[in-house]
Structure 1
Amino acid sequence: MTSERRAISGLAGLYATRMLGLFMVLPVLALYAEDLAGATPLLVGLALGAYGLTQAIFQIPFGLLSDRIGRKVVIAGGLLLFALGSVIAAEADSIATVIVGRCLQGSGAVAGAIMALLADQTREEIRTAAMATIGLSIGVAFAIAMVVGPLMAAQFGLTSVFWLTAVLALASLLVLWRLVPAAPRVARHQDVGLDRQQLRITLTSSSLLRLDFSIFALHTILTAAFVAVPFRLVNVGIEAASQGWVYLAVMGLAFVGMVPLVIVAEKRRRMKSTFIGAVAGMTLVLLALGELGHQRWTLIGLLWAFFVAFNLLEATLPSMISKLAPAGAKGTAMGVYSTSQFLGAFLGGVLGGALSQRFGYDAVFLGGALLGAVWLAVIWKMPAPRHLSSEIVTLDEHPADALDTLMARFADVAGVEDVLVVPEERVAYLKVDRQRLDAEALARVAGTRHDSRGA
């Protein structure tokens, strides 16, 4: 449908544009903030990670607010906060003002509202592909930001990065109101939004908590690393103006190196061993960066290995969340997961700044390696995730008074491992083993066709 395509392309572009503005600062802030009044490594690290704290605080409240007053209004307000924070940071002449700007950028935490609007705009049978499109757009935005940020800052200064971010945020407002069609309704979607009834289950699952800690540790390490990596590149003779091209080559080759590992994890069902191997590999790379990364090609090679592990973990962790979350609890699980990610970005900036100020840049990598070792201990005895997929079955052919009787019938279908029927949404959320699933029996129970949610 044309309206769905417009919604998917518009919201994916909006999400990617917003993330592009956040990511562009990552490889350049530590290098260029030294000229700001009051700048110290600790405060620069705080500026780098400050957006994560306000993102973590506001993302769930903004998502709930969008249920009450409308998605577009909340998204527009978040984009205006993001633009205002960018302008404040662009005009800053002190590190304290940059920190204020970064906090305001993060307070425009509209990721949940964007995903909910996407769910409002799309049918169940295409929603998985729609969300995958947004996920892909984030990855592309990160890669572009790693190149554009250093090139912009080298040519026009750090302020140009923040000004471009503000312009992109305002352009996103035009996309929101002109390209994204009005939603037919505001509805609750348990596979997208937070459900308070599922929150207790999510917070008491040891496997999900291990994954929450994993994304927390991953983004702590990433943000801390960018307190030190730009200076390490300068020390081996790669000036700020050229660092964007180094990131382009490293990120491109890292993507090539990551793809076969994702295939092994998903297709050959080696998710746990691939996961542990990636964490162990990242820990060793961080250790090597702290002890050995003082020669140009050694440093570049280690950065490539770091981003192979990072990209692999960034791609597989959401898949593992989807496999482990109970039926109907994926949205809640992802909300906790995203909050953990943003808190990790905040702590990473503070930790990286504190370590570099007190002990030097080598200590940042060694501190990351220590966190990696703790991470390995946390996940070592984690049960291997079962290779279950999420499915959603529409129930619009059933009268409302029959919906509460369907759960047992769904559970009796071969290959269905978990089920949650949500009468108000007129859908059933299932966790299924595709190799055993009796699709015909499932369709007979539902009285309608079912839709793959892939995980």
Structure 2
Amino acid sequence: MRKVSALLLTSERRAISGLAGLYASRMLGLFMVLPVLALYADTLAGSTPLLIGVALGVYGLTQALLQIPFGLWSDRIGRKRVIAIGLVLFALGSIVAALADTIGAMIAGRALQGSGAVAAAIMALLADQTREQVRTAAMATIGLSIGVAFGLAMVIGPWLAAWAGLPGVFWLTAVLTLVSLVVLWRWVPPAPRRVQHRDVGMDRQQLRNVLTRPDLWRLDLSIFALHFVLMAIFVAVPFRLVDAGISAAHHGLAYLAIMGLSFVAMLPLMIVAEKRQRITRVCVLSIGAITVSLAGLGLPVSDGYWLFAWLFMFFTGFNLLEATLPSMLSKLAPAGAKGTAMGIYSTSQFLGAFLGGTLGGMLASVGGLNAVFLGCALLALVWWGAMLNMPSPPPLASEVVALDDTGADTMEVLLEHLADVAGVEDVMVVPEERLAYLKVNRQQLDEAALARLVTPPRT
């Protein structure tokens, strides 16, 4: 067994910075449309609230259908090739949307954007490029980049649309995607290996185990509902801001203030959730806040300052759940099955985005803007009830230990020894990868005993 330095290598720094930037620019392009499409799509021929909702969410359908196949495809023909194909599809979709003069063409462009479903391939390439000891930090960097991209998109999208129109948003997205292709081939180093990573990629052998876990299903429901209500309300929120006297050109400033304050408000709650092991309580509290805020937005008391109070409450809950749900998933996923659990979780997220946009548009078409908020509040109430009695996950963390070339018999002995270490709750040894996947309780972990097993004796 071997243990290496956790300091980043130059190649790892380039891979992490390049892939995080690539991921962030892609998400920026997807999310910039969110606060502006409903306002500006009225100029498109054939536009209706229902079809605007479909245009908002349809990228989620193609993402959900193709993200796992793209990830598996990258195992066969290479990560960079698949990512490049996905980025080209995303750029083509952006161009189709930029040139669209009908709502049908806009829907086609958004669907084509989503067909560039390279999230799993990007994560797999990052895993190829990083050692086990730094991979968790590398994945956290990707997660941070997504959060930053979402916040920037909410501010930049309205400003850019007011200056260059809705086509300008998509043209910028196409340009950023082409820049990402250059970064992929010129900055991100060639991967030294291409193997399956069970902490990142899909493992078909683990699929049944993950799908039959009620606690993981609750998390899948949560991310589905969270992105359902997010996509649905943006059929209506831009019009509420206009009714409040805020011009479309200044919506970015409104979102900047709301998102900034909600981020400050979520930080202490997130610390309490992780440090004091109150993560489930904080999640239930966040869902309750989202439910109340949606109900408030659907009632007459949603004008003036109340509008901003409800939106502040919604985004505080949203940001908290975006941060805590993946943490819960990491704690609950079996050893060696985190990538499989995350694949199902992400598919649920994209399906939620598609159905949220579509049904949000339908509710707006049938019952007006208030119906969108009240319908989402009802879904959130059901979601709150489903999560209410969920037990808190144990304070477990994932560890990946690299192994020396040893025989199968030695692997079996190692598995037994690792399982006997205090604080090690679950173990999977994968001989073909020369890796051991552990779930450990850091509060109880006997680090000295673990170090003796993973560090070769000095001679």
Classify the TM-score, shorter chain.
over 0.9
Aligned to 2:362: 354
Q: Is this contact kept in 2: 1:398–1:447, CA < 8 A? A: no
Stretch deviating more after TM superposition (294-303 or 108-117):
294-303
1:288 matched to 2:301? The reply is no
Which residue of 306, 310, 317 maps to 1:298?
Answer: 306
Per the TM alignment, residue 400 of structure 1 is displaced from its structure 2 partner at its CA by 5.2
1:234 pairs with 220, 237, 242, which one? 242
1:249 correspondence with 2:263: no
Q: Distance in 2 between matches of 1:397 and 1:104?
A: 45
Per the alignment, residue 95 of structure 2 pairs with: 87
- Contact map agreement 1:388 1:432 (CA 8 A) in 2: yes
State the 1:445 CA deviation: 2.4
Contact kept, 8 Å, 2:85 with 2:116, in 1: the verdict is yes
Distance apart, 1:134 and its partner CA: 0.7
Q: TM-score, normalised by structure 1?
A: 0.97
Partner of 1:6: 14
Aligned to 1:291, the other structure's residue is in SS state coil
Q: Secondary structure at the match of 2:262?
A: helix
Partner of 2:421: 413
Q: 1:141 to 1:129 in 2, by over 3 A?
A: same
Contact in 2 for aligned 1:236/1:294 (Cα 8 Å) = no
Unpaired stretches in structure 2, ≥5 consecutive residues: 1-8
CA distance in 2, matches of 1:430, 1:185: 22
- The alpha-carbon deviation at position 377 of structure 1 amounts to 1.8
State the secondary structure of the residue aligned to 1:391.
strand
Taking the aligned partners of 2:165 and 2:279, their CA distance within structure 1 comes to: 43
- Give the aligned residue type for 1:337: Y
2:296 touches 2:302 (CA, 8 Å); kept in 1?
A: no
- 1:201 maps to which residue? 209
Please list the CA deviations of residues 34-93 of structure 1 after superposition, one character each: whole Å capped at 9, or x if unmatched.
110000000000000000000000000000000000000000000000000000000000
Shift of 1:296: 2.1
What amino acid does structure 2 have at the position aligned with 1:361?
Answer: L
- Name the stretch that deviates more: 424-433 or 305-314: 424-433
Residue equivalent to 2:274? 266
How far has the Cα of 1:383 moved from its partner? 1.9
Match of 2:142 among 109, 127, 134: 134
Partner of residue 109 from structure 1, selected from 106, 114, 117: 117
- 1:162 paired to 2:173: no
SS at match of 1:6: helix
- 1:441 alignment partner, one of 439, 449, 455: 449
Residue 57 (structure 2) pairs with residue 37 (structure 1): no
User: What corresponds to 2:4 in structure 1?
Assistant: none
The CA deviation string for residues 217-255 of structure 1, in whole angstroms up to 9 with x for no partner, is 000000001100000000110110000010011111110
Q: Which runs of 5+ in 1 are unaligned?
A: 450-455
Which amino acid is the alignment partner of residue 329 of structure 1? A
* Aligned amino acid, residue 80 of structure 1: V
Q: Distance in 1 between matches of 2:300 and 2:435?
A: 55
Q: Percent identity?
A: 67
Q: Which amino acid aligns with 2:304?
A: R
Partners of 2:41 and 2:103 within 8 A in 1: yes
Q: 1:74 aligns with which of 82, 107, 110?
A: 82
Deviation at 1:294, TM superposition (A): 3.5
After TM superposition, give the deviation of residue 328 of structure 1 in Å.
0.5
- SS of the aligned residue for 1:227 comes to coil
Are residues 1:181 and 2:189 paired? yes
Q: Distance in 2 between matches of 1:154 and 1:293?
A: 29
**Hey, what's the Cα distance between the residues in 2 that align with 1:431 and 1:315?**
20
Aligned counterpart in structure 2 of residue 143 of structure 1, from 142, 151, 161: 151
Q: What is the CA-CA distance between 1:401 and the residue it aligns to?
A: 4.6
Cα shift at 1:272: 1.2
Aligned counterpart, 1:452: none
The Cα RMSD (Å) is 1.1
Give the alignment of 1:379-390 within 5 angstroms.
379-390=387-398
In the alignment, structure 1 residue 123 sits paired with structure 2 residue 126: no
Alignment of 1:394-433 (within 5 A): 394-396=402-404, 398-399=406-407, 401-433=409-441
Cα contact 2:302–2:310 (8 A) shared by 1: no
Distance in 2 separating the partners of 1:293 and 1:348: 24
The amino acid that maps onto 1:148 is I
| Equivalent residue for 1:321, pick from 329, 335, 339 | 329
* Residue type at the aligned position of 2:97: A
Cα separation, partners in 2 of 1:293 and 1:27, compared to 1, 3 Å: farther
AA matched with 1:210 = R
The answer on whether the counterparts of 1:410 and 1:445 sit within 8 Å (CA) in structure 2 is yes
For 2:229, the aligned partner's letter is I
